[in-house]
Amino acid sequence: MDTTGKARLKSGEEQIKRLPRKKLGEFEPPKKRPDPIATLREAEKDRVADLLPVKYGRMLPNAFAFFRGSVGIMAKDLAAQPRTRLNVQLCGDAHLQNLGCFASPDGRILFDINDFDETATGPWEWDVKRMATSVMLAGSECQHDEKGCEAAVHDFIHHYCQTMITLAGQPTLVAARHIIHRAGDSEPISAAFQQAERSKPADLLAKYAAKVKGEYKFKRVPGEWPIPEKEAAAVLKSLKEYRKSLPPERLHFLDFYRPVDVAFKIVGTGSVALRDYVVLMEGRNAEDALFLQIKQEVLSTYAPYLKMPKFPNQGERVVEGQHRIQPLSDLLLGWTTIGKFDFLVRQLNDHKGSLDIENMKGKGLSSLAQVAGELLARGHARSGDPLAITGYLGDGEKVEKAIVKFAHAYAHQVKADFEVFKEAVSARKIKTTSA
């Protein structure tokens, strides 16, 4: 392999012959496109059947909510399109509400991609197309007109291209540590930072637990409930395997905590109906609390369409993918197994801050889209070859036009699929609940 900059740029330029940049903008659903409802239901395997109506209920409010819960439909559509051979570590479910704040190992609050359940090694443009479509759909829900949505998509892809070109010109390790400076200037991100700063373990204790005989125990609250003793014992037993996934310097901190209670929690939209546990850990006293989230992981929805390495545990796949994309990750990120299922382990709500779609009105959407482009480019530059991708991008202008065109076309497809979904709900082919 020739690692010189010239050779790497040329390898990207050669991909233009394989997939002309103009073709990135093409999307025409095939006549024999699989039924979106059937594709959606393929993801029901290994999920808790009684919770599927909750998942589908959370997808019902609007097309953007449907999009967030139906990554399998887009994965199948992307796999049917021509692709480049410029692979990166995909986030896999790249959309605006999978960006957020969290605490770094040294306590700083960061803003970055924060969901990697679908991570896989694949073509860079798949993440870009999904994020661009999410900008169109989120903008539509925030009362932006079509021109405003397209302008925000352009801001997203322009910042992706220019960031990638910039990182390609930097030494490899400098590019890997690239810092996003504009995040605090965005209203939606600023609000997420404020939420993250307010989110502390003491607040979680008050929200989720109550003292019983001097020791905190989970209380029943919406979306979270205690579990049977036998199930709780299996969860606690899994902590032994989890400990083996942590490096020694991080295991040291965990050793100062002991588990005191376990609960089941419903999270997100796409993850609803996957098993998700929360373990309350106690340190020096009852107020020194640590919440561990133990979240079921299944095969990436992209697995049928990509050559993926085999992982003994799908939680390990997510951890490895997250480390490849993010410069800094959760201090206690690891994995384990409970019964026949694989799980990711991480801190729950460690200064986490999420994006409120209401803050994407006005200039909020474009400012967020710009940061999204920069974050995605950094993740792809860290896990792929920024020089090769830059060779394909050129000055970025053709790619920018193509991605705006694609996002426009695919957003219309999502809205059409959403109508089919609503019809299936009305016909009681799909059960929903708001519980």
Indicate whether 431 belongs to any domain: no
Q: What is the mean pLDDT of each run of 10 residues along the chain (435 residues)?
A: 89 96 94 95 93 96 96 97 97 94 83 94 98 97 94 97 97 89 72 77 84 88 89 97 95 95 90 94 92 96 92 97 94 96 90 77 91 96 98 98 98 98 97 84
pLDDT attached to residue 194: 83
- The residue among 297, 320, 347 that closes a domain is 347
What is the per-residue pLDDT for 199? 72
What would the two tokens of residue 102 be?
Answer: 């969290």
Three-class HEC string of 310-338: CCCCHHHHHHHHHHHHCCCCCCCCEEEEE
Q: Are residues 204 and 338 in the same domain?
A: yes
Please check whether residues 293 and 385 belong to one and the same domain.
Answer: no
Residue 294 in contact with residue 333, Cβ under 8 Å? no
- Domain of residue 310 covers 199-347
pLDDT at 183: 61
- pLDDT computed for residue 79 by the predictor: 96
Q: What is the pLDDT of residue 355?
A: 78
Do 126 and 102 sit in the same domain of this protein? yes
- Give the pair of three-digit tokens for residue 119: 């991570």
Same-domain status, 246 and 189 = no
Which two tokens mark 379? 């993740």
Which of 347, 364, 394 terminates a domain? The answer is 347
SS3 of residue 218 by DSSP: strand
Q: Are residues 258 and 404 in the same domain?
A: no
Number of independent structural domains in the chain: 2
Q: Is residue 433 part of a domain?
A: no
The owner of tokens 């065109």 is 405
Last residue of a domain, one of 347, 379, 398: 347
Residue 404 has what pLDDT? 98
Question: 149 — alpha (psi -120 to 50), left (phi > 0) or beta?
Answer: alpha
Pair 373, 322 in one domain:
no
pTM higher than 0.85 for the full model?
Answer: yes
